[in-house]
């Protein structure tokens, strides 16, 4: 089902989700529940779970159009953003190289609004590199990283254990791993036999505890606008791990 993320409409939704300002996502004339406002800027909030000290290398798996990858560059000398979608990686590279990218926001039916995604202030995009690759079959020579981030990726993989088993090599000793998952297991992405047998938190602990210490666990909400009146408003479970 990875072709979902090659759809031009989904690209537009993700550019808005990652780079849209609050008043571009939520109509300022409408009274929305406070919680919807708190769900903005998810792609900025998930990498904020890393410690703030400067480090050499970061990796953002399932980076989509790259907002969290760019945010990680505030504290990492080099960051690699990896996504399976050629269309998402092409958009992320345009943002890196041009600093902006035009797209459309769907309001309803055929009505669209012209928008421009812009790189946020204070980010050195020369620190960032994007790469199309499969997170379940990453190149053997990718190396190890001080920080690894994978937001809303695990339950979009057909065999997520392949990635869980790779984290021990991907995260350098003493390094940090931030995982976000809304635990929305669906057969369209993951065959049922590869879903966690109990709950996702216990499943993560089962696979990661041998090499990682769990540092914290919480939920972060996110909001993806599909049209002016239709949103995905969801909570993602965030776990922060430190490689022993
Ligand atoms: C639900 S989106 C999350 C994107 C982003 N991390 C965020 O939090 O907004 C899932 C992302 O994972 C990517 N993806 C799906 N399967 C993948 C795979 N096998 N390897 C790498 N990326 C994959 C999709 O292209 C998409 O960009």
* Cα 92 to the center of its chain, rounded Å: 13
Compute the distance from residue 210 Cα to the ligand 1 centre, in Å.
Answer: 26
Q: Rounded to two decimals, what is the model's pTM?
A: 0.98
Instruction: Collapse the DSSP code of 132 into the 3-class scheme (helix H, G, I; strand E, B; otherwise coil) and give the result.
Output: strand
How far is it, in rounded angstroms, from Cα 86 to Cα 61?
Answer: 14
Neighbours of 166 (CB within 10 A): 17
How far is it, in rounded angstroms, from Cα 94 to Cα 29?
Answer: 32
Closest Cα to atom 13 of ligand 1 = 62
How far is it, in rounded angstroms, from Cα 52 to Cα 60?
Answer: 16
pLDDT in tens, 66-101: 999 999 999 999 999 999 999 999 999 999 999 999
Domain count, the chain: 1
What lines the ligand 1 site, CB under 6 Å?
2, 5, 43, 62-64, 82-85, 88, 134-136, 151-153, 156-157
pLDDT in tens, 14-72: 999 999 999 999 999 999 999 999 999 999 999 999 999 999 999 999 999 999 999 99
Count the residues in the chain: 244
To the nearest 5 percent, what fractions of the chain are helix, strand and coil? 30, 35, 35
Residue 1 has pLDDT above 70, yes or no: no
pLDDT in tens, 159-181: 999 999 999 999 999 999 999 99
Domain that includes residue 172, residue range:
2-243
Question: What CATH number corresponds to the domain at position 150?
Answer: 3.40.50.150
């Amino acid at each position: 089902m990875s072709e979902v993320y090659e759809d031009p409409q989904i690209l537009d939704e993700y550019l808005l989700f990652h780079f849209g300002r609050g008043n571009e996502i939520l109509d300022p004339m409408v009274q929305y529940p406070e919680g919807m406002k708190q769900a903005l800027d998810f792609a900025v909030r998930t990498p904020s779970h890393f410690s703030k000290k400067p480090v050499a290398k970061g990796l953002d798996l399932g980076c989509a159009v790259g907002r969290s990858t760019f945010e990680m560059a505030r504290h990492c000398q080099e960051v690699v953003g990896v996504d399976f979608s050629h269309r998402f990686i092409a958009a992320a590279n345009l943002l890196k190289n041009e600093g902006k990218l035009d797209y459309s926001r769907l309001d309803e039916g055929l009505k669209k609004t012209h928008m421009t995604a812009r790189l946020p202030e204070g980010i050195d995009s020369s620190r960032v590199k994007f790469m199309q690759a499969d997170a379940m079959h990453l190149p053997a020579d990718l190396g190890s990283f001080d920080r690894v981030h994978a937001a809303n990726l695990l339950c979009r993989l057909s065999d997520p254990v392949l990635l869980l088993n790779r984290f021990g090599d991907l995260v350098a000793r003493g390094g940090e791993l931030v995982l976000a998952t809304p635990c929305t297991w669906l057969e369209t992405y993951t065959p049922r036999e590869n879903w966690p047998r109990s709950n996702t938190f216990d499943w993560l602990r089962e696979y990661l505890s041998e090499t990682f210490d769990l540092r914290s666990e919480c939920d972060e909400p996110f909001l993806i606008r599909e049209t002016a009146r239709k949103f995905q408003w969801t909570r993602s479970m965030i776990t922060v791990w430190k490689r022993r």
